[in-house]
Structure 1
Amino acid sequence: MRTARKTTVIALLAGSALLGLPGGAAADSPTPDPTASGGETAAPTEAGTSFRTATAVRPGQRATAPASTGDYLYWQFPADATERATVRASVKLPAAPRSAPATWQIDVYDGLRRRQACRHGSQTRAVPATATSVELTCHLRTVRAWAEPWSDDPLPGAYYVRLTAVRLAVADTGLPFDASLDVTTASAGGAAAVDGGLSTPLAQGSAARVEPADGWSSGRWSTRWLWTAGGAALAALAGIGGYTLTRGAGRPAGVPGTRA
């Protein structure tokens, strides 16, 4: 009788567990986040008109913007320590010829609005009146984790790109054009790492609205620590090996080592 009662209780508990599984699974499973699908922010389709209104763009995105000749277009992107950024801008001009040649230029500024020199690339181009496109490129120097106050080395933070026609005939002012911007970054590796870093990335107040996908890494771990630890280990092994060889060479031949 007792065995039959135990069997009934076990069956009831098993049935309750089976009936509760779907409800429990539905309650525990997270609700899909509609904003999580895709995961990436859409590439911007407009540009700002000043540093304060610069449109944020992430490295790897292709930003586009319609504008009129004579306008100043501004974008901003993040650059972290040991990174080398490359900025490429393209301008598509109307097919109809203009009245005179024009000169287009891109300038890159850091978070303190200091103009940064390009290592190489064509950041300024003069084009004839019949040109239908302009390609501009600026390869920036490696971003340093910190620098002396008197230097103009690129530092971690927001970087601003300005695109405009620096020489333009008055008759051609206001003609429409389409601009696009591509920013890519590449790591220089542990060779560019230094001890120390900025407490906060450089930015002009609340104007900076971008940061690297993995957060700012200035002052954190870098591969330089591996080289330091590896060098210390090799030095220790070399010391042990040298001590062993010296001890063996100093012992007379045929004389066994003394016991403690």
Structure 2
Amino acid sequence: MSTVALAVRDSGTMLRRSLLRMRRYPSMTFMLIGMPVVFLLLFVYVFGGTLGNGLGAASGGHEAYANYVVPGILLMAIAGTAQGTAITVAMDMTEGIIARFRTMAIFRPSVLTGHVLGAVVQTMLGLAVVVGIALLVGFRPNANPVEWLAAAGVLAMTGVALTWLSVALGLAADSVESASNLPMPLVLLPFLGSGFVPTESMPTAVRWFAEYQPFTPIMETLRGLLLGTGIGADAGAAAAWCAGITVVGFLWARRRYNRNTAR
């Protein structure tokens, strides 16, 4: 069997393993989806009236704020799944399963590839649930089918980037507990960007960080695609950030995995 065929076969096996784990431990999936849903309901129904009126839109209130906040909630959902991926990777590294894989004739990187593919599938399913609930609470996108596909591509691209980074964090963690904490800043980044309020309303120092951190151009690209507010240079910046994070996460994960499995 060729190396490519072996890689595809074993990566598919590891993907099925990740999906089976997701089915056997539904509580983690519910938790990862439940957190962004809770934040969505909280911000739309508790803070949405005031914040929506402050957006300067023709029609303020809950509906206007629901349209504004959904891209930030979607990024929170992706970051939450990335946190779960770091935990599962750390579990693999500490529970001895990797030692068993080392005795088998498998394509070694397929273990990481299975985690990444499984996490992306879980992410996209979770995002579909979040978008469905957002539509129920007042989210009203005006995107056409092509723009919806482009938005899904941006979300998938972001999911791949954060998943590779979370795999590296899970490999670098000393324990499962520390693996659950290392990706936490990813969950907080939408708050320090344009996820919940426009960056123009922030103090100068915070505004500078918010405008130049990776999540802001991703969220602005999603708003432009789903709501027709314009994209400008945000799409290029979002693609560049995702590509950079993916490369760094992949190289870091591969190095840590090779080091850990060589012991």
TM-score w.r.t. length of structure 1: 0.22
Q: Which structure shows the bigger proportion of residues in strand conformation?
A: 1
Q: Which structure shows the bigger proportion of residues in helix conformation?
A: 2
TM-score w.r.t. length of structure 2: 0.22
Considering only CA atoms, is the larger Rg found in Structure 1 or Structure 2?
A: 1
